[in-house]
């Protein structure tokens, strides 16, 4: 197998069992699961914040031993932080996906902008290079797409926090049967495929494909922002070892991972949840919209009951 570049995260799957795996070189040498406790707590107790229990056979944490990453550790380890000069995300459609699924591209860009509190620029579609195609496998080499297409593009964008390419063609990496994506934390780039989200199992509507796509894109881009797999709560940053496990995990960040993103980008959590609630409602993703409504109510109650600062007291009539 080709050696991975430093700080590379690969989302992969074994064809026979439809495994969805995000490979991180840190996972192999990680400490046993359960050694750490979260250093950020939710504003209030809620059944929505479910702690990660003992992994079941076949689940990610049953296969890969990971220590998790506290907020304090994240602040020390994060190398890609939003600034006045580094403040945009770029979405690059590869091949025919922009023509075949224009709404998926549009909604994915809209969601990522809300999720990461960044401006997202959708670039013109880029053809899939023939040299990245392996005829014998009828698949594209994800590494060649990353190195040959996406990496040169991010070098031309000095304001890019992340450069993400989205394709509708099947991909592979090394000796693996196929991959859903490859992302480099060091280079701030990623290339993801949605081909298997609807190519293996016929979907009843577009909402499941959209949900899977935004989970994939936000999870992998979270890695580009320096976030490791979450082992504290059920969270979109959980590692997953099957498509079933992926579907079972939430689309949202847990309190620890949200705090990481708040620190990184300076986002306003309440305003972010309001925008997310509207997005999910418009996309007819009812469960996700209801989750956001509960968070909005929770944060508004918490903020209204919090002690006022000296400046706020002076402004009070």
At 33 the pLDDT is 53
At 308 the pLDDT is 59
Domain residues of the chain, as ranges?
Answer: 8-31+57-267, 269-306
| pTM of the complete model | 0.84
Nearest-10 crossing angle of helices 269-282, 286-305: 160
Q: What is the DSSP string of the chain?
A: -PPPPTTEEEEEE-TTTT--EEEEGGGGGPPPTTS---S---SS--TTSPBP-SPPTTSHHHHS------HHHHHHH------SSS-EEEEEEBTTHHHH-HHHHHHHHHHHHHHTTSEEEEPPPBPPPGGGEETTTTEEEHHHHIIIIIHHHHHT-TTEEEEEEEESS-EE-TTSSEEEEEEETTTTEEEEE-HHHHHSS--SSHHHHHHHHHHHHHHHHHHHTT-----SBS-TTS--SSHHHHHHS-SS--HHHHHHHHHHH---HHHHHHHHHHHHHHTT-HHHHHHHHHHHHHHHHHHHHSPPPHHHHHH--
- 160 closest CA partner among 150, 149, 168: 150
Each of the 317 residues of the chain gets a pLDDT tens digit; together they read 333 444 444 444 333 233 333 333 333 333 335 678 999 999 888 999 999 988 989 888 998 888 899 999 999 999 999 999 999 999 999 999 999 999 999 999 999 999 999 999 999 999 999 999 999 999 999 999 999 999 999 999 999 999 999 999 999 988 878 888 888 878 999 999 998 886 444 445 678 889 999 999 999 899 999 999 999 999 999 998 777 888 999 999 999 999 999 999 999 999 999 999 999 999 999 999 999 999 999 999 988 776 655 444 433 33
| Burial category of 311 from C-beta neighbours within 10 Å (exposed 0-12, middle 13-18, buried 19 and up) | exposed
At 214 the pLDDT is 96
Alpha-carbon span 276 to 291, nearest angstrom: 10
Specify whether 220 is catalytic. Answer: yes
At 65 the pLDDT is 85
Strands 139-141 and 171-172: parallel
At 164 the pLDDT is 95
Catalytic residue among 59, 220, 234, 298: 220
Q: What is the CA radius of gyration of the chain?
A: 19
Alpha-carbon span 233 to 239, nearest angstrom: 12
Alpha-carbon span 290 to 229, nearest angstrom: 25
At 240 the pLDDT is 84
Fold of 8-31+57-267: Collagenase (Catalytic Domain) (3.40.390)
């Amino acid at each position: 197998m080709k050696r991975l570049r430093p700080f590379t995260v690969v989302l992969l799957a074994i064809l026979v069992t439809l495994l969805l795996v995000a490979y991180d070189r840190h996972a192999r040498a990680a400490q046993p699961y359960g050694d750490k406790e979260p250093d950020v707590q939710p504003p209030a107790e809620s059944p929505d914040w479910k702690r990660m229990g003992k992994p079941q056979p076949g689940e990610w944490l049953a296969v890969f031993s990971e220590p998790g990453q506290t907020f304090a550790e994240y602040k020390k380890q994060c190398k890609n932080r939003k600034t006045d000069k580094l403040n945009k995300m770029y979405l690059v459609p590869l091949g025919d996906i922009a023509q075949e699924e224009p709404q998926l591209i549009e909604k994915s860009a809209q969601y990522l902008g809300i999720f990461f509190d960044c401006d997202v620029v959708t670039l013109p579609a880029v053809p899939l290079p023939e040299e990245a195609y392996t005829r014998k496998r009828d698949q594209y080499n994800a590494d060649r797409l990353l190195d040959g297409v996406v990496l040169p593009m991010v070098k031309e964008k000095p304001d890019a926090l992340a450069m993400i390419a989205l394709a509708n063609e099947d991909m592979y990496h090394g000796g693996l049967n196929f991959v859903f994506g490859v992302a480099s934390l060091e280079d701030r780039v990623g290339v993801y495929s949605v081909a298997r989200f609807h190519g293996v199992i016929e979907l009843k509507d577009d909402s499941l494909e959209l949900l899977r796509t935004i989970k994939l894109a936000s999870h992998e881009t979270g890695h580009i922002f320096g976030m490791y797999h979450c082992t504290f709560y059920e969270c979109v940053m959980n590692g997953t070892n099957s498509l079933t496990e992926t579907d079972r995990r939430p689309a949202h960040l847990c309190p620890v991972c949200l705090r990481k993103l708040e620190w990184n980008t300076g986002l306003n959590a309440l305003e972010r949840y309001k925008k997310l609630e509207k997005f999910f409602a418009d996309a007819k993703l009812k469960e996700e919209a209801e989750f956001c409504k509960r968070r909005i109510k929770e944060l508004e109650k918490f903020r209204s009951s919090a002690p006022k600062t000296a400046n706020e007291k002076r402004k009070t009539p």
